[in-house]
Amino acid sequence: MEFKRIDTSQAQLLISAAAENGLQIVDIRDEQSFNNGRIKNAVHLDNSAVSPFLEKADLSKPLLVYCYHGNMSQAAAAYFSEQGFDEAFSMDGGYSDWELRFPEQTEKS
């Protein structure tokens, strides 16, 4: 299964339907950036948290991966797709674009 690249508007539609589709949202930026602001309901993943995440994840539910600008999330989405997720998405533009377009849908620690 291959991952799909989507823009922030498409990601926002997925997130809006999250109650129906069970979307899982993963932030792969550094912890400080995650704490400074993130998409609501996102979980932070670094290298040490990937295995535990995969053990608990529902591979049948879609996964949205984002980073700073949408570059590193492509490799991460490809990896998760290879691990068996039915649908894995990389968000083009990353959090920097999301925060500009959807500030009301961000949260801070």
Residues marked as catalytic: 67
Our CA dihedral for 68, 71, 74, 79, rounded to 10 degrees, sits at -80
In whole angstroms, give the CA distance from residue 88 to residue 60: 10
Task: Answer yes or no: are the C-beta atoms of 27 and 43 closer than 8 Å.
Answer: yes
Measured in degrees and rounded to the nearest 5, phi and psi for residue 49 equal -100, -5
Query: Which parts of the chain fold into alpha helices (H)?
Result: 8-16, 18-21, 31-36, 50-56, 72-82, 94-101
